Each structure stands twice: as structure tokens, then as C-alpha cells.
Structure 1
Amino acid sequence: MAGIVARSPFPLSGRTSSASSTYALEGVQYDVAIGGMPWLLKIDDQHVMTRAGAPVRKDQIDQQQIPGEQSLASWWLRSQATFIGGAGLLYQDPAADNQYAIRYADSVGVNPWVNGKLTLLRSTSQRISDGTASKHHVVGWNDGTDRYWSAVGNVLQSDTGSATTAITWGGANTIRSLTSDGTRYYAADNVNVYRGTGSGVGAALCATGTTNVVCRWAKGRLMLGQDNLMYEVDNAGAKTLRFTHLNPSFVWTDIAEGTNAIYASGYAGSEGGIYKFVLDSSGNVPTLASGGVLAAQLPRGEVVYAMTTYLGAFVGIGTSRGFRVGEIDDQGDLRYGPLLIENSNGVKAVAAYDRFFFVGATNGIDSDSGLYRVDLGQPIQDNGVSAGTRFAYATDLQAHVTGEVCSVSNFGNSDRMVFAVVGQGSYLESASTLESTGYLRTGRVRYNTMEPKIYKFVTVKTPTSLFGSVAVAVGDPGGAETSIITVSEGSSLSINDVVLAAPSTAAEWVTLKLTLGRSTTDTTKGGEVHGWQLKAMPGAVRQRIFTLPLLCFDREKDRAGQTVGYEGRALTRLEDFEQMFAAGDAVSFQDLRSGMSYLVVIDDYRFEQGAHPANNSSRWGGILWAQLRTIADVITA
């Protein structure tokens, strides 16, 4: 009984009859058998049998517009010199859109948004502690000093990042919504909306009468959502009803402004949508020209929790399933893209700054809470008019605690962000202090094939003068993660062609984990990576090539002098061999002298007919040269 003990390096055709055909010696002492057909060898100085290794690389022409690693000889290479495509990549394989060169699998605590550089993000600190279960609201403002308002429970405060000021805002109940027109705050509870300037005392502006209330400053006016009603509030506190949703259970969740419309999100049960209120600009002061018109319908079962518009063109949509990016067309309608970030806890906070959306990441950063960041300047996939665009994203600031991220805002006019976590408090981004550590994990490097590879060397480019530390680990399909090297501040070591200690055997793919550490002497500096490269070679079972000179005459003599054959035998055997060759299937090759067996394919053959041997009375015959390539070794049990 035969059994394959070395794996085939490529799939077989599925025909197994010829492969299972073997020959058992009896009588004539044949030398070899191919596909069950026995043969005598013709080995002498003119007819040499050879065994050689099969080439594992093929000659190819690189026809891409930009030469790449596939143009290089010797090693199989994969490298990356920028990370601006963000997270979410499974395989680090070449693609037409070149995403593998700019994206990666996932990261925590690192900033990939500077081209050609990976660094640590800035850390955060808790500013206002919150032990309640109430939603915590934060809104940034500036009166010459960067600040933010914090509202949690029935307490309103202003925080500069170093000192807080309690504000007598006018109400006594839980603050349900908070907004600003730039210098004045608007705090809404279940009784009234209260207005005050800066850190000054507030006073009632208009009545609310419900806990389902949201207020936002949009297009130079205060918009107020109460239950299923949408009001416009003037400077004197007079309310004008602009829209009544037909479902009395409908509640408004957020309000934002576009170029020529105001948008309001809400839901009832499992139905969610975004409505627009168009502005009439024919007069000196734009006025709301119409009631709510549905601008975007969310998939059933997905509802909008938070929303913000940006640059007159984009809308960030936080939903019960995660986060989407929408785009505003010339008519003010919304075209939202696919679910960019999935979070089973939903997204209930969205803000914008520079070219980014900052999105609440409830328990979404290694199970802790913080923010995601979405780069509107880096589209990674355009799905067309109907399906929208996907943008680069990654995890961002961390609170290092769990809990619902319920609000996020800019810190005054600075580039720093502040966000709030229910039951924990508000967290402010540091001006300069970095996270103590962070990491990036690459996609699976498999060289675009599922065949096993032998991974040999890794190179990671870092600055000449390194602050902090950079550590490299390799992950394999079995789930193991093996540390390879760590380079620390002041070390003379470099990560250049470092031998990979793992995986110990050939593997389909590996990942790299690059861990950055903060400097022990300067908290504003840390590890930095400019790129990485892996070197590998094919790990499949190396194939061998046998070239055999086979006797193919009507009559032949074996090594014991026994004659076998008859007139016409040679042609019949040649035609049978040619049919075996034409079928292209795997066949058995037996060396009957040594007892070794192989599974092979017949790569080529050549029949040479010359002068007959003196000891052969046949009128027809010659030498059949067969070239066989092994695809597995077989043993006989």
C-alpha cells in the first residue's frame, strides 16, 4: 500500500487512476516503472540518467507602471514605507489600488497620519470626574483661553485644562443637551433651555417640558428638538414649530448644519433617518423655507445617535452599528457610504477638526474606550454614486477605562480634543505628553499565495537618533507571537536584516507587530518607525527532475539476460506512454532497483530511433527519453 508523505506543491487534476497504478516485479527484472508500465534503462556514456533540482522561480516581465518588489531577483520581498491608509487590511498583498502599501491590520496608541512616519499619539488625562450614570456633555469654546464646557447631571462647569469654574446655569435638573453659539452656552433640561455667556450666570430662554430634548446652534439660530417636534428658537426665546413627525414615538438625536440646509437625525423603534430643513436665502437673513424632508434613510434596524457636518461636504453619522461617512450633494441630499467602523456598542459622539472626523470608540480600543479618527483626505475606496466612499481610519486617543463615549469636542481653538465617558468623566488630550506605549500590526504577509514560505529576515527603519524604543514581534497562523528584537534609546543596534526566530517551520503567512515606547527621559518624545521589510523564500517541498533513457524496442534483455518482447511491442508501448503524457495527470514513478517511489508528472519526452543494438533482432525501436518532475515522495508499506 502506498501513501503520500510529502505535500503536493500544486493541486492535481483530480484523476487518480493513473497515479495509483504501480508495478510489482515478477520474472523480468525491469529497472523502473512509470504509471504502472515497466521499463528497462539504457545507461551508458552516451545515455546518462540525471537527477536535478527543479527551478522554483520563473522568469517574468514587470509591466506595471511603477516598478515594484516583484522586479527584484533572489528574495521574496514585502515592505511598507507609509501607513496613511489606516487600519482594516487583512492581507498585505499587492492590489491594483496599491492599498497594501499604505494600510495595515490594526493599531493602538500610534499616529499613522504623517506620510512616511509612525509615532506615538498624545496621551489624555481625566479632568472632571463623573460617578453618575448621566450623559456627560462637552463643548469647546475660547475667550482668549482654550476651554470647554462640561455638563453632567445638573452640574455645569468650564475647564481650561488646569482649572475648573462652576457655573450657575439657571436650572436644577439633569442637563439633557448642551450647545454653544461661540460665546454663549445653551443648556437644556426637562423644564427649559437656559442661556448664559462664558462662565456667567444663565437664565431661562424657552420651555422644553420633556426629557427627550436636543438643542444645537445651526445656521445662526437655535434649533430645538422636543420628542417628535422640531422648533426654531429666536433670540428672544420665541419658538416656531417647523416640523412634526407623524410617529409620536419619534425622538430627535442630533442636529447639524450644511451649506444650504439644516439636518436633524432621529428614530422611532428600529426606523432611523436624517431630515433636512432647507434655507431660503432670498432675503437679507436666511430663513427656514420648509419643514423636514427626508434626506437619508438608514437601513432597517440601524438608527442615528450622533451626527456632525464638516466643510459643507461631509457628514459624520454615528449609528447603533458604528460609523458612516456621508456626502452632501448640490441639492442638499445625503449620500452615505458603507459602515466604515463597526462597533456593537454604537457610536454616540462625533466631532471634526482639520481633515479628520473624531468618533466615539466605546470599549473599542483593546476593550477600552476612546476615539477613532477618520481621514477625509485619504479615500481608500470609491464605491460609486450609490454606495459612497470609504475613508482611512484608525483608533486614536485613549481614556484607558471602559464606558460609553457620549460626547466629543474640540478644546477651544487648539488641535486638542476632549471627550467624555459615562460614569468616568471628561478626558483632555495632552498638549505634548505622549502615550507610554503603542503598537501597529501589519496585515498578513503571504506574497499573494497560500503556499508555505520560509520567512528569514526583517528590517525596520528608524531614525538615526532614536528616542524611546521600537520592538518587533512576529505572529504566525497558529496564533503565536514571538519577540524578535527591541532597540532602545541610546542603543547602537539597528533593525537591519535581523534573523526571524519564528515561525520555526514554513508558514502560509506572518504578521509583524511594531511596538513603540516613550522616552524614559522626555515624555514628549518616543519611538518612531519609517518603514519595514520582510524577506522570505518559497517553503514548498522542493521538486526534483529525473531524466531517464528508457529502452523502447520490440525485444529487450534485462540485466539477468532474460529476453522480453514481440514484434510491434515498441510502438504499442510508446503510444501508451504518449497517452499517459497527454493526459497530464500525476503518475507513480518506481525505481525498482532501490525500492523508492515518487508521485510525478511527465514534463516532457523525446523518442530517438537509431541503429539497433547488436543483441536486438527487432526491426523497430529506439531510446525514449522521459523527463519526470516529482510532486511528492511515496513510501511503500
Structure 2
Amino acid sequence: MAGIVERLPFPLSGRTAVTSSSFALDGVQYDVALGGMPWQLKIDNDHTMTRGGAPVRKEQIDQQQIPGEQSLANWWLRSQMSFIGGAGVLYQDPSSDNQYAIRFAESVGVNPWVNGKLTLLRESTLRVADGTSNKHFIVGWNDGTDRYWSAVGNVLKSDTGSATTTITWGGANTIRSLTSDGTRYYAADNVNVYRGTGNGSGSSLCATGTTAVVTRWVKGRLMLGQDNLMYEVDNAGTKTLRFTHLNPSFTWTDICEGTNAIYASGYAGSESNIYKFVLDTTGAVPTLASGGVLAAQLPRGEVVYAMTAYLGAFVGIGTSRGFRVGEIDDNGDLRYGPLLIENSNGVKAVAAFDRFFFVAATNGIETQSGLYRVDLGQPIQDNGVSPSVRYAYATDLQAHVVGEVSSATNFGNSDRMVFAVVGQGSYLESASVLEASGYLKTGRVRYNTLEKKIYKFVSVKTPNSLFGSVGVSVIDPGGADTSIITVAQGTSLAIEDVVMAAPMTAVEWVQLKLSLTRSGTDTAKGGEVHGWQLKAMPGAVRQRIFTVPLLCMDREATRSGQYIGREGRSLARLEAFEQIFARGDAVTYQDLRTRSSYLVVIDDYRYEQKAQPGANSSVHGGILWVELRTIADVITT
């Protein structure tokens, strides 16, 4: 029977679009088609077609010096056992410096600063209430008892945390600035600076004559900024002009001290600068050797509101945009880093204790006010250039009210902080009572890949004797917050390999939310977390491997008994197939018997020709074995 001469339905070179490389039955009953080429199957006892699953994980060798979760088989793991890196991480993915292992996304009401432990912060209570719109100033001091001065409007008080004393400070107008030399207070209004000792009455020290006034005790002397003028005031009240800014509209905002200089900040319009006043230490008593010299200039439009120098090396800078950490170089100049904390309400107060800066968080803790805490002992980014250093930070004390945080200070010599909120009053950190509740959200756990995952188990390490409660919930990419488990005080239930009820489908990432509550029997104790771990599996559609034997003969018989082909056909088809294979692109594999289609990659092939055809043979060819790996199923036609 004469064969049918076929035209190859594909080009022999170039890249063929998947949509144009399918085959439609038309007269000849082929079994399958691959990349638009139709084929007959050769299935018998010697030639079997197989289907199986493709391996998901590749073999790998762990060459890291320290074994970790990357060394374990079967599960994809991510865990964390310390939170001292602070907030701000988006993805809990590995990095060269391993910061993901100690950082998290955000927190409220919890203390992450003890290595290996997450606990509740202490609560803050309202002490000196104020319902006016006046700026509230506070300064800590100690006369054998921890206290702080509170100045708001024209009222100056002293508070021990249990009792307040109203002080006759000497003036009658609104207090514009407040400072202390350790035992004496200096309160400035638009008339004078008044000085008094402890809770005693005050008297006029020197004149001010303006509402634009700031006074600070630095380097053993009183500095006084009035409008665009900077004075030094001696013990007798004599003012010595040290610097006049060339812009008469310039206003001083704060003054602090460094190792060998005094720093003063101010602004005029959109320009804000920090000036230094260098000390001459050649004599018995250090004196100011020069007028103001520019030490740092802020980006245009960013105004310095508050400064605190600490440990002789750092300067906390509160601005109209947020908070920066500056470092003092050998020349006494300031090199400040990027915005560490952004707050559109601005930062108008900075205090320091231990290794921390405490920073005003105006409406910055779930839209309410309190303090941030910055850990100077935990740099989280440093490429060797100081301004690039960023430090660990997190939200800290809370007032649970809204309003501008105008001042912050230490409570005497203790480790407790005080902060003032305009229109509300001053808030003192408790000595022992914890916040009623708090939470921490981890970064997004995605195992450093965009592929979807199936998240199966969560474990959270807690103390054997738990106070309060610890709750675990999962946040998915859609924003849903689903509770997984809560363990309460008095129960022995462990949070270990708890099945995750959500998300219900494979997703790219999830976050954990760890919620802590205070004990109902002891307000000084509460929930505690020592670490967490997630277990997941790859969530992509599992691939399959097809091993298919195809006839590749000059002449072949179809299922219906029809003969097709011609002499030389097998070699042409083999070469055409090899060009498809060489391109390496995905192609469509069609099972024309069941009308099922798959998008596949040809992983390998083997052509078998078992007999050498003779010179007069009319049938050439052999068996073409192809190994196909599915990428996706195509809608059945």
C-alpha cells in the first residue's frame, strides 16, 4: 500500500510558542503528540510506558561550620530563639549576618531585650494630670528618694511616684524650658530664668525677654538660648553672649554635651543645623574657647527638635521626621545615620539609661503615645562607615492615650522612665506591675523563595511554670489572623508541633503573632516565650515523570489499521524531534486517546535501533524513548 506523504507541522529551528504547537486529529489516528508532532506508541511487554512522581528535594551537602536547621531533612524549618535585634524586619529570611534570627516585624507591650526571652513590659500610670495644651516638661532628680520635676503651664511640681509637691518657683508665666544641675532646678519663662533647690522656692537668676527660650545645664555650666542668641550664664546670673546666628529668625531648640564640646540645635524655616561650642581645657577650669561652629546639617525640611548625648560617643537626635542616632568623631563633629524610626508627628523628647535611648513615640504605638527604645549595644547594620549604622529598636512604654510626647526623663536614679503627654499629663513606669497584654509579630516566613508552601506545624517554647498566658496565631498574605492555640497559667499543655488550622491552602508566606497576657494572681508576672519554630513543605504542584516509548519508523500502522509513512521518514522525524529537545523549551504533550494535555519539559531521550537495515530494506527506524516532566496540566480538550 502506498504511504501517505506527510508535511512536518513544525519549523526545524527557532522557538515555537506553546499555543501553536498542539496537534489536532485529522484522518490519521495517532496515539500521542509532542510539541505538535504526532506519534504512535510502542507499548508491549518489552516496551512499557511509566508515570511517577518527580523528586521534590535535591540532594545537598551542608558545608557550614555550625549545624543548624538547614542540616535537617524532610521539613522546611524556620525558628527563632532571640529577639534582641528589634523590630523592622519584613522577611524572616537568612542573611549573611544572620540578623533574621534575632529580629522581628513589630511588637507592642513586650520586652525583647533579654537574650532568649520575650516578656511583658511594665505598665505606666498617670501621675501629674494636665488637661491644657501647654507643653509639659519633666526632669528627674534624687535627694535620697527618686523623684522628678514636672512643669506645665505656670505650675512646677515634684513627684515621688506616691506624692506630689507644688513648688513656688518664682515666676507666674508659662514655663518654656526646664533643666537641672542635679540638685537645683532652672525654670525659664518669657521674663526670667528662675533657680531653686529641690522642693524649695525659686528666685530670678537672669532675664530672658522672649518665649523662644531653651536652657540646659551642660558641662558644668548653664547655657541659655534666646531667639537667635546663645548665652553662657554664670552662678551669679551674668550672661555672656557666645554666639549670634546671622539669621534673626533662627530659633534654638535644644542643647546637650559631648566629650569635649557643647552642642546646640536650632532652625530657621526649612534649614536646621547643630552647632558645637568647643571647650578650652588648658586651664584649671574648662572654658568655652569659641563661638558656634557648624557640626551637622540636617536634610532640608527636617528640623531638630530634641537632642541627648550619651556615653561620650552617641547623640540621639529627634526631628520633625523621626529619630536618628549620631556619633561624635575625634574632631567633635557629628556623623548621623539614616532615620532609624520614622514618625510623621516628629520626635520631641529623647532620654537615655543603661545602653538605651528612650524616644518619644507620639501616637506611634497603635495610634497611641508612649516611648520607643533603641539599643545602642545592638548594631544591626554596619559596613564600616559610621553613618550607615542602624540600631535595634522596638516600641516600649505606653500611655494608652493620644497626644504629643513632649518630654522624657529618668525617674531619679532608678531604671524607671517618665514621659509627658501634652493634654494628658506625666506617666511613670511602674516598679513591678506588668502591662495587661502585649504581642510580637514575626517577619514573614517564606523560606527565601516565592514558591508557595504548605505550613503544617508550629511550636513555641515557654517556661515549665507559665504565668499568665501565651497565644499563637498565624497571619496569612490576605491579612487574616487565625488563632492556633492559647496556653494559660496552670495548664501543662505544651505548644509543640501543633497542627496549623490556617492557612487552608498553600501560600507564599505567613507571620506568627505571639500574644502574652499578665497573670491574674501576680501582676509582676506574665506570659513568657523562649522561641518558636515553623514546619512547612513545598506547596507547588507536584511534578510527574512520564517515560513514553514512541514508534519512529519509516512506515507505521495506526490503531485503525491504516498505514502511514514513506522511506526516509524516520530520520527526518528524529532530527526534527532533536531540534525541539535542543531548544529546551516547554512543549505540549497530548494523549490523543484520552484527550488529556500536559505542559512538559523533555528531560531526556534515547533512540533505539536494534537491527542494521539492509540495503534493500523498505522499513527503517526504531523506538524513541522520551522522559517528560510535567510543568502544568492543560485543560482537557
TM range (shorter): over 0.9
2:150 partner letter: S
Q: How much has 1:619 moved relative to structure 2?
A: 4.9
Amino acid at match of 1:610: K
Q: Distance in 1 between matches of 2:222 and 2:312?
A: 19
**What stretches of structure 2 of length at least 5 have no aligned partner?**
1-13
Using the alignment, how far apart are the partners of 1:505 and 1:16 within structure 2? 34
Which residue number corresponds to residue 500 of structure 1?
500
Aligned-partner residue type, residue 59 of structure 1: E
Q: How many angstroms apart in 2 are the aligned matches of 1:20 and 1:531?
A: 54
User: Whole-Å Cα distance in 1 between the matches of residues 575 and 73 of structure 2?
Assistant: 42
Cα deviation 1:442-501 (Å, max 9, x = unaligned): 111111111111110100000000000000110011111101110000012111000111
Alignment of 1:219-234 (within 5 A): 219-234=219-234
Matches within 5 A, 1:39-50: 39-50=39-50
Map Cα deviations across residues 496-516 of structure 1 (whole Å, 9 max, x no partner).
Answer: 000111111111111000000
**Deviation at residue 581 of structure 1 after TM alignment:** 0.7
Identity of aligned residues (%): 82
Aligned partner of residue 210 in structure 1, secondary structure: coil
Letter aligned with residue 608 of structure 1: E
User: How does 1:573-588 map onto structure 2 within 5 Å?
Assistant: 573-588=573-588
Contact 1:255 1:264 in 2 (8 A): yes
* 2:321 alignment counterpart: 321
Residue number in structure 1 paired with 2:595: 595
CA displacement at 1:64 relative to structure 2? 3.1
**Which one-letter code corresponds to 1:521 in the other structure?**
T
1:97 maps to: 97
Residue equivalent to 1:70: 70
Does structure 1 residue 460 correspond to structure 2 residue 424? no
Hey, what does 2:7 align to over in structure 1? Answer: none
Structure 2: distance between partners of 1:252 and 1:286 = 24
Q: Is the 8 A contact 1:612 1:618 kept in 2?
A: no
Matched, 1:282 2:282: yes
Counterpart in the other structure of 1:7: none
Partner of 2:8: none
C-alpha distance after superposition, 1:509-538 (max 9, x if no partner) = 110000000000000000000000011101
How far the C-alpha of 1:272 sits from its partner, in A, is 0.5
TM-score, normalisation: structure 2: 0.96
> How far is the alpha carbon of 1:21 from its aligned partner?
1.2
Q: Which amino acid aligns with 1:93?
A: D
Give the structure 2 partner of residue 364 of structure 1.
Answer: 364
Task: Assess if the C-alpha contact under 8 Å between 2:327 and 2:386 holds in 1.
Answer: no
Alignment check: 8 A CA contact 2:453 2:508 kept? yes
In the alignment, the residues of structure 2 paired with residue 484 and residue 613 of structure 1 have an alpha-carbon distance, to the nearest angstrom, of 70
Which runs of structure 2 are paired with 1:347-496 in the superposition (5 Å)?
347-385=347-385, 387-496=387-496
Distance in 1, Cα, partners of 2:408 & 2:481: 35
Letter in 1 for 2:348: K
Larger mean Cα displacement after TM superposition, 413-422 or 15-24: 15-24
Task: Provide the rounded CA distance (Å) in 1 between the counterparts of 2:354 and 2:617.
Answer: 93
Residue 568 of structure 1: aligned partner: 568
Q: Which residue of 2 aligns with 1:130?
A: 130
Residues 202-213 of structure 1: pairs in structure 2 closer than 5 A = 202-213=202-213
**Cα pair 2:15 2:583 within 8 Å, conserved:** no
Deviation at 1:386, TM superposition (A): 6.3
SS at match of 2:174: coil
How does the TM-score come out when normalised to structure 1? 0.96
Q: Which amino acid aligns with 2:316?
A: G
RMSD over aligned Cα, in angstroms? 1.4
CA distance in 1, matches of 2:176, 2:85: 37
Query: Which residue in the other structure is 2:177 paired with?
Result: 177
Q: SS state of the match for residue 84, structure 1?
A: coil
Cα shift at 1:385: 2.6
- What is the letter of the counterpart of residue 306 of structure 2? A
Shift of 1:361: 0.1
User: Which ranges in structure 1 are unaligned for 5 or more consecutive residues?
Assistant: 1-13
Count how many residue pairs are aligned between Structure 1 and Structure 2.
Answer: 623
SS of 2:66's partner is: coil
Decide whether the 8 Å contact of 1:403 with 1:423 is kept in 2: yes
Asked if 2 retains the 8 angstrom alpha-carbon contact of 1:347 and 1:360, the reply is yes
AA at the equivalent of 1:417: M
The one-letter code sitting in structure 1 at the alignment partner of 2:213 is V
Distance 2:386 2:96 in 1: 22
Question: Take 2:61 and 2:356, find their aligned partners in 1: how far apart are those partners?
Answer: 41
**CA displacement at 1:191 relative to structure 2:** 0.4
User: Partner of 2:199 in structure 1?
Assistant: 199
Distance in 1 (CA, whole Å) between partners of 2:553 and 2:618 is 7
SS, match of residue 594 in structure 1: coil
**Which residue does 2:5 correspond to in 1?**
none
Conserved? CA contact 2:30–2:592, under 8 Å: yes
Tell me, in whole angstroms, the C-alpha distance in 2 between the residues paired with 1:22 and 1:306. Answer: 71
Deviates more, 1:21-30 or 1:306-315: 21-30
Task: Judge conservation of contact 1:19–1:599 (CA < 8 Å) in 2.
Answer: no
Post-superposition Cα deviations, 1:67-111, rounded to whole Å, max 9, x if no partner, equal 332221101111100000000000011111111100000000000
Q: Measure the CA separation in 1 of the matches of 2:175 and 2:15.
A: 75
Q: Is the 8 A contact 2:177 2:214 kept in 1?
A: yes
Q: How many angstroms does 1:613 deviate by?
A: 10
Deviations 1:26-61 (A, max 9, x none): 333211100110111111122110000111111122
- The equivalent of 1:246 in structure 2 is 246
Q: Is the 8 A contact 2:147 2:412 kept in 1?
A: yes
Cα 1:530–1:277 shift into 2, 3 Å? same
The superposition leaves residues 542-590 of structure 1 with CA deviations (integer Å, 9 ceiling, x where unpaired) of 1111000111111122223222111111111111111101111111100
Q: Structure 1: which amino acid aligns with 2:402?
A: T
Residue deviations 1:355-376, cap 9 Å, x none? 0000000000000000000000
Assess if the C-alpha contact under 8 Å between 1:553 and 1:618 holds in 2. Answer: no
Listed one character per residue, the Cα deviations across residues 297-330 of structure 1 (whole Å, up to 9, x for unaligned) are: 0000001000000000000000000000000001
Matched to 1:587, the amino acid is V
* Aligned twin of 2:4: none
